[in-house]
Amino acid sequence: MNELIGIRSFNHLEINDLKRDFLIFDKIFIVGLSEWKEVFEKKSFTSTEELLEQKGLVPLNDFIIYNGLLEMNSQVKKNFGDIDNYYDKNKTDEIDFRNSNIQFLINEGKLIFDYESIKKTKFNSDIYSQIKPVIESKLNEITNKSLYDFFMLCDLCHDLKVRILSTQYDESKFLAIPCEDSIYNIDGITDKKQDTFHLIFNDFPILSVENLSWEEIFNFKSDPETYNSIWGLRNWISNVSKTQKNIGEIEEEYRYLKNKYEQAIKLHKLKTSDSVFQTTIQTSAELIENIAKFNLRNVSDLFFKFKENKISLMETELKSEGNQFAYLFKVKEKFK
């Protein structure tokens, strides 16, 4: 099965954001988590010299990321001895909650971070030629400035790597998830498909997810009817992204179709609400009577009336213009 994998920066890894992500994506690839584990858990190298000895020449983007982690590791050692002591002294319920949730998702195979586990399908050298001047200019700007400025540059490099990976790998399978301060819109790094996804999700905030458990999210998506509607949404985005329409024209089509679908569902519910109410009242009385008389056939007929209403709604969903967005409405209805 062709999965849809979101790509997110390790520096922007909040649990509620991940819950929203998993309502759409099958898995999330975390850029920077592998590098973090190399420096802090595996202790593969402790200096820039050791980094270059092991890896040789690395892209400037990666070089800054690794040096940011090495500098952080140096500060941790200086002030706390090691990373475990740092966590012991700074541990909070919020940090424990975040770390335990992330580890759970890693164990479940939902969060992935090993670059070797995903197959690269293309490489665009032009991307690096565009990115390098951006990074170099920022690097020059922070000369003789604070360590905070350098870490902000590291954050930028993580965000750029998210975008780079989304263009290097199978575009039907991987999609960049930008952080709030993703501000560098470089040609070839963000494409029309990504822009279309972000347009829809920003316009249609799904819900508040704080009280949702992982089991609720994954069980909801495992329902065949629900999961098929996800593919309807993904298919529309993929198809419209291949057209000659610009993002403004795509937005117009999206809003038109979403409105048509919403109106069709509202009209259907208005038409069926009276009959559902009548069926409920009738069923309450008839059900007691038929059960008392052991008239199981009539009991079955009464339950079938409710099934007919459900089938009617499903038919309306399938036939309505804009049904590509049914999944968004299902999520909103389920978890409102």
Tens of pLDDT, residue by residue over 97-147, are 888 999 999 999 999 999 887 766 555 556 667 777 878 887 887 766 677
Residues forming a β-bridge with 7: 29, 176
Average pLDDT, rounded, for the chain: 78
Using the predicted structure, report yes or no on whether residue 163 has a pLDDT greater than 90. Answer: no
In this prediction, residue 181 carries a pLDDT of 59
Q: Specify the pLDDT at position 13.
A: 84
The C-alpha atoms of residue 12 and residue 30 are separated, in whole angstroms, by 10
What is the DSSP-derived secondary structure letter of residue 51? H
Indicate if the pLDDT at residue 27 is higher than 80. Answer: yes
Q: Which residue in this structure is represented by tokens 């541990």?
A: 91
Quote the pLDDT of residue 33: 94
What mean pLDDT do residues 187-194 have? 70
Task: Give dist(CA 41, CA 162) in Å, integer.
Answer: 22
Q: What is the pTM of this model?
A: 0.79
**What's the pLDDT band for 191 if we cut at 50, 70, 90?**
confident
Tokens of 327: 């999944």
Amino acid at residue number 189:
I
Q: Which residue is associated with the tokens 């409102």?
A: 336
If one compares 3 and 292, the residue with the highest pLDDT of the two is 3
What is the pLDDT confidence band of residue 299, given thresholds at 50, 70 and 90?
very low
Per-residue pLDDT averaged across 294-310, rounded?
Answer: 48
Which whole-number Å values give the CA distances from 265 to 49, 104, 231, 238, 315, in the listed order? 63, 38, 20, 25, 11
Nearest-CA neighbor of 331 among 186, 180, 223?
223
Which residues make Cβ contacts (< 8 Å) with residue 259, sequence separation at least 6? 322
Confidence of residue 273 (pLDDT cuts 50, 70, 90): low
Average pLDDT of 222-238? Answer: 86
